[in-house]
Structure 1
Amino acid sequence: MVKMDRKILYEKLDGLLNILKVVKEEYETIDTWANTRQFMDRLIDIYLALKTEPSIAQDAKFQDYLHESATELIWFTNYINNFMVEMEQTLNSTFYNDEWVGICWQRSAIEAIKEIYQNTCLEEYFTELDTEDLDECIAAKGEKEGYLTEQQIPSAIPSSHWWWWYPKTPSTSHVS
């Protein structure tokens, strides 16, 4: 995986903060599902950059983002729970195209939040992000919809994100 240029990283971090601020300020008049999904999709980019280049976590700009966004995300956890409910609804519907890949990205985004924001004020809210039922739905749907090729799985995805390989087990070429 190619390392992320720091300037691009900073632009992505600013974009994430802007999404959070827009949702907070305009939550009554905007499509919060679309904004939540946009935030989660963009967070995955940051997560994969951290997996590829762990030194990003020590970067002062990243630490500033982490501190500021963690306090913003406290109220956002309800939207993340709704995000998980939407995922379950998708899992209970018929798949026609690349829905499985979308589910894998979305599930990884939930883990990304937990990992990126551990040891912050947001960590205490992780108990509300109970993924047990969601993971059961993923496993049930994955029996028919899984079976991604190695080329479809991002190289920086940790093997703990088992849904990418399901119903198989992760390959040894992926990080833990």
Structure 2
Amino acid sequence: MYDGLKILYDGFDSTQKSMESVIDGFSVSRELEQLKSEDNILRIVSFERAMYSLVGVQIGLSEGSAPSASDLENFRVRVVSLIAGSSHTFFNYLCDVFDYVFAAWEDGWEKPCYCRSAIQLLIDDYPGAAKLVHEDDEIRGMLEEVDDALRERGVEEDPLQEEDIPASLPDSHWWWRLPAGGAVVE
């Protein structure tokens, strides 16, 4: 696993901790964006940590560590409301993911895959997030560029070991298996 991911996941041993990390990260990021803070590094790193933690939530849910249905729904609604106030940061995050794809030869294929899976989980599982992504021309366009870059670079990467691919992610997350010649789902 990419060393940065190990650092980000340290301490995320439960769904609840991952959920708390998501809310904390998006809250800090949104506050800094709304204040027009010059601390861009903290704003973007907080957003990125929250996105990684979305994958942690999914892993926890698949392992049976789930909050009540109403708590999960409230969490998902809150996440979308926080992201809605952070469109500039979301765009910055997508630009970083694009860069991670082209740095994969050095940093590994896992990092861009985790990032892209976090985006897809947000779109698929968080009510209102798909609308935020698809109605913002900059965000939608950058996501398309990320997917094109994944397709372009993925065929040049070494296949990931099966144990490095989170089992809880659906097969529609094609980017994980692309280096192994996996079918690309459009």
Instruction: Work out whether the TM-score is over 0.5.
Output: yes
1:85 paired residue among 89, 95, 100: 95
1:33-112 equivalences under 5 Å are 33-53=44-64, 56=66, 59-93=69-103, 95-98=105-108, 100-112=109-121
CA contact (8 A) 1:146 1:164 kept: no
Task: State the percentage of identical aligned residues.
Answer: 18
C-alpha RMSD over aligned residues? 2.5
Shift of 1:78: 2.7
TM-score, structure 2 normalization: 0.74
Runs of at least 4 residues off by over 6 Å = none
Deviations 1:3-25 (A, max 9, x none): xxxx9323322232122222222
1:154-173 equivalences under 5 Å are 154-167=166-179, 168-169=181-182
1:148 paired residue among 148, 160, 164: 160
How many residues are aligned here? 160
Query: SS where residue 145 of structure 1 aligns?
Result: coil
CA 1:76–1:149: 2 relative to 1, 3 Å? same
Residue 49 of structure 1 aligns with an amino acid whose one-letter code is: G
Structure 1: 5+ residue stretches without partners = 1-6, 171-176
Partner of 1:115: 124
Structure 2: 5+ residue stretches without partners = 1-12
Shift of 1:148: 1.2
